[in-house]
Amino acid sequence: MTQPTINPPFWLLAELTYRCPLHCVFCYNPVNYDSIKNELDTDAWIRVMREARALGAAQIGFSGGEPLLRDDLDILVAEARRLGFYTNLITSGVGLTEKKIVSLKQAGLDHIQLSFQDSTQEMNDFLSSTKTFELKKKVAALIKKYDYPMVMNVVLHRHNIPHIDKIIDMALDLSAEYLELANTQYYGWAMKNRQQLLPTREQLVTAEATVNAYREKIGKQCKLLFVVPDYFEERPKACMNGWGSIFLGIAPDGAALPCHNARELPGLQIPNVKEYSIQEIWHESQAFNFFRGDSWMQEPCRSCSEKEKDFGGCRCQAFLLTGDPAATDPVCAKSPNHHVVKLAISEAAASAKAETSKEFPLIFRTDANSKRYVR
């Protein structure tokens, strides 16, 4: 075991706010988000961007919650672009008026990632607990009108994965350059709803075949990104490409996060940008060094020949499923806890069999529900 070398951060995720007009059942935001107030102000965000860029970060994602709810979004985008970031807006589209899209273009925004929940109004609006489908379609047209590259993002789960062909057709209709068919990852609100969201293996096999058939047919017209959810794999994902390796997330309140959900992990002292520079946070903080390299690993990871490839998987998943954030990600077939993943799959399959079309008890991401999870 050697001291890990520290590479510059590559991806700065600026979670500008946890406020959001949508209430998606699969949101990865912390379930107690409602208790996290004190959003960073414009000057603080500008300092964060400058310091991260100076360290070498090249991509910035403006996300949330819904980043368009911040009045200073144009200012932040303009500064990010001036600093040389490739600027990505990750949005539900709610609030993206023509006026706004023009001012963001002037600010130098490079790319917009627009989320949809499904290809039909009924399911889109149900899953986000809003009436936003028609609006999103209008926004997609505006994105094209102002010649932005468009990545469409649809989070997949048991209830929309059977419509994957319709979802791809919709992306083609709306001239998206990329379609991210992102299988739900089970953290935050999604974990609360896992039994209702986890697809069945049969659904996944069918979906993957459909995606492959479309790839053959459409060529370069739209790039389809589809990754089998890790619960159904034999090896874990290389989460964050390794801890403290490329990803730097800044939460609305200034908490600096080595992964989106690091706040949930016990034992970490999460640094805040209000108290430390990005240089100190990235290089010296306890949290960013905690799972860097491999000296923290247990067996079977420690002696595994694949540890350089997947870095032991996801720390948050290890914690959520085993109670120990340093355990091998139980998605791995070598994990002594792998049975918990198998059990989740079979329970979800049983629940899929039992449920009648739309009568499933989902917990929506709302302020009222969030208040119940405040610790």
Partner 1 sequence: MSEPTPAQLPEHPRLNRLFRLQWEEAQQAYVLLYPEGMVKLNLSAAEILKRCDGEHTINQIIAELEQAFSEADLRDPVEGMLRAAFEKDWIQ
CB of 11 to partner 1, least distance (A): 7
Determine the Cα–Cα distance for residues 28 and 36; give it in Å rounded to an integer.
15
Is 242 a binding residue for partner 1 by CB under 8 A? The answer is: no
- Judged by CB under 8 A, the residue of 6, 44, 46, 58 near partner 1 is 58
Q: Round to whole Å and give the CA distance between 254 and 258.
A: 13
Smallest separation, CB 261 to partner 1 (Å): 19
Q: Cα torsion for 268, 273, 278, 281, to the nearest 10°?
A: -20
| Residue count, binding to partner 1 (CB under 8 A) | 20
User: Quick one: 183 or 370, whose CB is closer to partner 1?
Assistant: 183
Closest CA relative to residue 14, chosen from 55, 46, 56, 54: 46
220 is a contact residue toward partner 1 (CB under 8 A)? yes
Using the rule CB under 8 A, give the single segment among 14-22, 55-63, 195-203, 311-319 that binds partner 1: 55-63
DSSP letter for each residue of 58-124: -EEEEEES-GGG-TTHHHHHHHHHHHTPEEEEEE-STT--HHHHHHHHHHT--EEEEEES-SSHHHH
Task: Identify which of residues 83 and 349 has a Cβ nearer to partner 1 in the complex.
Answer: 83
Tokens 């059990």 sit at which residue?
343
Pairing mode, if any, of strands 111-116 and 86-91? parallel
Cβ-based nearer residue to partner 1, 88 or 119? 88
Query: C-beta of 268: minimal distance to partner 1 in Å?
Result: 26
Pick the closer one to partner 1 by CB: 151 or 161. 151
In the chain, the amino acid numbered 113 is Q
Is the separation of the CB atoms in 160 and 123 below 8 Å? yes
Q: Does residue 110 touch partner 1 according to CB under 8 A? A: yes
209, 365 Cβ separation under 8 angstroms: no
Name residues whose C-beta falls within 8 Å of residue 224's C-beta, 6 or more positions apart in sequence: 168, 178, 179, 181, 211, 214, 215, 218
Q: Which is nearer to partner 1, 24 or 89 (CB)?
A: 89
When binding is defined by CB under 8 A, the residue of 17, 29, 92, 113 that contacts partner 1 is: 113
Which of the stretches 25-33, 110-118, 181-189, 316-324 binds partner 1 when contact is defined by CB under 8 A? 110-118
110 dihedral zone (left: phi>0; alpha: psi -120 to 50; beta) = alpha
Beta 59-64 vs 11-17: how paired, if at all?
Answer: parallel
Is residue 88 a contact residue for partner 1 (CB under 8 A)? yes
Q: Is residue 86 a contact point for partner 1 (CB under 8 A)?
A: yes
Applying CB under 8 A, which of residues 84, 162, 267, 323 lies at the interface with partner 1?
Answer: 84
**Candidates 8-16, 64-72, 233-241, 283-291; binding stretch for partner 1 (CB under 8 A):** 8-16
Q: Which is nearer to partner 1, 95 or 149 (CB)?
A: 149
Nearest 5°: the CA angle 121, 209, 237 is: 90
- By CB under 8 A, tell whether 245 contacts partner 1: no
Q: Does 151 bind partner 1 (CB under 8 A)?
A: yes
Nearer to partner 1, 108 or 300 (CB): 108
β-bridge partners, 90: 113
Amino acid at 101: I
DSSP β-bridge partners for residue 153: 115, 180
55 binds partner 1 (CB under 8 A): yes
List the one residue from 30, 61, 271, 325 that touches partner 1 (CB under 8 A). 61
Nearer to partner 1, 175 or 366 (CB): 175
Query: Binding string to partner 1 for residues 173 to 202, with x set by CB under 8 A, is what?
Result: ----xx------------------------
For the chain, how many residues are written?
375
Stretch in the footprint of partner 1 (CB under 8 A) among 91-99, 146-154, 181-189, 208-216: 146-154
Should residue 10 be labelled a site residue for partner 1 when binding is judged by CB under 8 A?
Answer: yes
Q: Distance between CA atoms of 18 and 251, rounded to whole angstroms?
A: 8
Within 10 angstroms of residue 101's Cβ, the number of other Cβ atoms is: 19
Per CB under 8 A, the list member of 75, 149, 195, 360 interacting with partner 1 is 149
Task: State the residues that interact with partner 1 by CB under 8 A.
Answer: 8, 10-11, 55-56, 58-59, 61, 84, 86, 88, 110-111, 113, 147, 149, 151, 177-178, 220
